[in-house]
Structure 1
Amino acid sequence: MMFTIRPYTEKDAAACGECLYEGFFTAPVEDCDKILLRDYAQVLIEKCNFTYVAEADDGQVVGFICGKYSKSFDRPLANRYACKKHYGLWCRMFFKYYLKQYQMSGPFQIQWDHFFSQLQERDSKTFGTCDLELVALASKAAYRKGLGTALVTQFLSRARADGADTVRLLTNTLASWEFYEKRGFARVAEKPFRDGSGNRTIIYEYRIKETSNA
C-alpha cells in the first residue's frame, strides 16, 4: 500500500485522534472518548516542533509522527513550531480533564488511565542528551504494511536535513517495541514501571551520522 507523507494541518486533528486510539487502545469508544482523543492529539502535536501525517489513496489520514528538538542542540529550531499553538485549547483541555468533565466511558477510562500513567515514566534527563525526540508514532492497525516505516523514514530525513545526530524515543513492553530494533534503533536505557506492574520503560536511540557512514 502506498502512502503520501505530508506536513500536518489543523484539519487533521480528529483523524490523528482516531490514529492515536487505534495505535494505543483496544477498548470500544464512545463520542465523548473521541473528543478527548482529538483534543489530546491536537495538544500533543502543537507541543511538538513538527508533525507529519500519512494519507492513504482515499485521502484518509491513517498515521502521524511528531518530533521535538532539544534547545541544547539548536535553540532556534526548538523554538520553531510548524503549526499554530492554540493556548486556549490547551487550557480548556487540561481544566476539563482534571475536573473530570470528559465523561469517558468505563472501559476506555481504564485504558486511558494506564496510558496516562505510562507517560509519567518519561525521564527528562534521559532526553536532555539527544538532539531530537520522537514524541509520538501512531497508526491504524489495519494499515501496518509499510506505514510505520514510511513515517519513520520521513522523520529521519527531516532530522538529517536539520543536522541532528541523535534521535531518542520512549516506548514500553506493552507496545510493539521490536519495530524500532528492526529499523536500526539501539536500546540505551531500560527501567521497570514505577507502579510495580512488571512492565518496563525502554529508551531507544538512533545515531544518524554513524548510520550514514556505515
Structure 2
Amino acid sequence: MSDTIYRPYEPHDTEGVLAIILDAFHVRRYAPRPYLERSAAEVVLSDCLLASTYTRVAVDDVGRVLGVIMGRVEDEPHLPARPLAHARKLSAMAWLATAGLPQWHTLKQAYGFERRYAELRSDVLSTGAAALTDEITLFATHAAARGRGVGTHLYDGFMEHLRDHSRTDFFLYTDSLCNYQFYERRGMMRAATRDLELDVEGLPRRVGVYLYAGAVPGRH
C-alpha cells in the first residue's frame, strides 16, 4: 500500500465516502431506489461530520477513496465544514421525507439504530462501565481495499491522535452486520448490547446493536 495517501477528509472526497457508506452500511437495503440511496447516505455522512473533530481518508494514487475514519475528541473544536454538513443534511432529509414516502417502511427502520444507540449509551452510563467521552463516529473501508491494511492504518492513526491529546479511552457503536471482530482483536470490550428487529429484504430479522469501549493503547 505504498501508493496510499492518508490525509484529512476534504469536500472533494464526498463522492468516494458516500460510495463506501452505501456499501458498508447496507443503505440500498433501506432506500431501495437510486433516487433515494444517495440522500440516505448523505444523512449518514452529514451526521458524522457534525459530530466529529477528527477525520482521515485513505486515497490511492488515482484519487479513489479507500477508507475513512472520523472521531470526536472531547473539548476539541468541531470541523470547519460543520455549517455545510448541516445544510446538506437538511436538504437530504427533506428529499427523503417527500420522495421517500413510498419506501418509508424500510427507511424508518434505519433510524431504529439511532434509538438503540441512545439506549446503549444510557445503559453504559447508568452502570459506569465506560466514560463515553471520545468516540469513533465513522469507520469503514472500500470493499476493494479490505484485507490490505487500510483499516488498520486509519484506526492506528486515530489512536495516535488520542495519545497526542493525552486521552485514555474511547468508544463506538457497531452492530452484527459489521466486522465488530476487528475491535475485539484490538482489545475493545462490548460494554452493552441491544437487539433490533428488522423487516428489510436481504437483511436478518434480528440484528445485534453494540457499544464497544476500549483503552487507548500506549506507544510501542
TM-score category of the 2 structures, normalised to the smaller one: 0.7 to 0.9
Q: Distance in 2 between matches of 1:63 and 1:114?
A: 26
Instruction: Give, in angstroms, the shift of residue 64 of structure 1.
Output: 0.8
Match of 1:83 in 2: 80
Instruction: Give, in angstroms, the shift of residue 201 of structure 1.
Output: 1.9
Q: Does 2:7 align with 1:6?
A: yes
Q: Distance in 2 between matches of 1:213 and 1:38?
A: 36
Q: Does 2:161 align with 1:155?
A: no
Are the structure 2 counterparts of residues 36 and 198 from structure 1 closer, same or farther at C-alpha, using a change threshold of 3 Å? Answer: closer
Describe the SS at the equivalent of 2:131.
coil
Q: Deviations over 1:85-141 (max 9, x none)?
A: 2233333233333x233578x6xx84x544332232113434782231111112211
Q: Distance in 2 between matches of 1:115 and 1:189?
A: 20
What code does the residue aligned with 1:52 have?
R
Instruction: Give, in angstroms, the shift of residue 39 of structure 1.
Output: 5.0
Are the structure 2 counterparts of residues 96 and 30 from structure 1 closer, same or farther at C-alpha, using a change threshold of 3 Å? Answer: closer
Task: Name the TM-score, length of structure 2 as normaliser.
Answer: 0.77
Are the structure 2 counterparts of residues 172 and 32 from structure 1 closer, same or farther at C-alpha, using a change threshold of 3 Å? Answer: closer
Describe the SS at the equivalent of 1:120.
helix
Instruction: Give, in angstroms, the shift of residue 168 of structure 1.
Output: 0.3
Are the structure 2 counterparts of residues 11 and 69 from structure 1 closer, same or farther at C-alpha, using a change threshold of 3 Å? Answer: same
User: Pairwise mapping of residues 66-105 of structure 1 onto structure 2 (< 5 A)?
Assistant: 66-70=70-74, 75=75, 77=76, 80-85=77-82, 86=84, 87-97=86-96, 99-102=97-100
What code does the residue aligned with 1:148 have?
G
Match of 1:19 in 2: 20
Describe the SS at the equivalent of 2:132.
coil
Question: Aligned residue pairs: how many?
Answer: 201
Match of 2:51 in 1: 47
Task: Name the TM-score, length of structure 1 as normaliser.
Answer: 0.79
RMSD of aligned residue pairs (Cα, Å): 3.0
What code does the residue aligned with 1:134 have?
I
Runs of 5+ consecutive residues of structure 1 not aligned to the other structure: none
Runs of 5+ consecutive residues of structure 2 not aligned to the other structure: 200-204
Are the structure 2 counterparts of residues 188 and 36 from structure 1 closer, same or farther at C-alpha, using a change threshold of 3 Å? Answer: closer
Q: Distance in 2 between matches of 1:31 and 1:94?
A: 13
Are the structure 2 counterparts of residues 53 and 213 from structure 1 closer, same or farther at C-alpha, using a change threshold of 3 Å? Answer: closer
Q: Distance in 2 between matches of 1:36 and 1:179?
A: 26
Q: Distance in 1 between matches of 2:155 and 2:219?
A: 19
User: Pairwise mapping of residues 21-36 of structure 1 onto structure 2 (< 5 A)?
Assistant: 21-25=22-26, 27=29, 30-36=34-40
Describe the SS at the equivalent of 1:193.
strand
Describe the SS at the equivalent of 1:129.
coil
Q: Deviations over 1:33-78 (max 9, x none)?
A: 22432454134223311211111232211211111234xxxx3x1x
Runs (4+) of structure 1 exceeding 6 A deviation are: none
Q: Distance in 2 between matches of 1:48 and 1:102?
A: 28
Matching residue within 129, 136, 146 for 2:138: 136
Identity %: 19
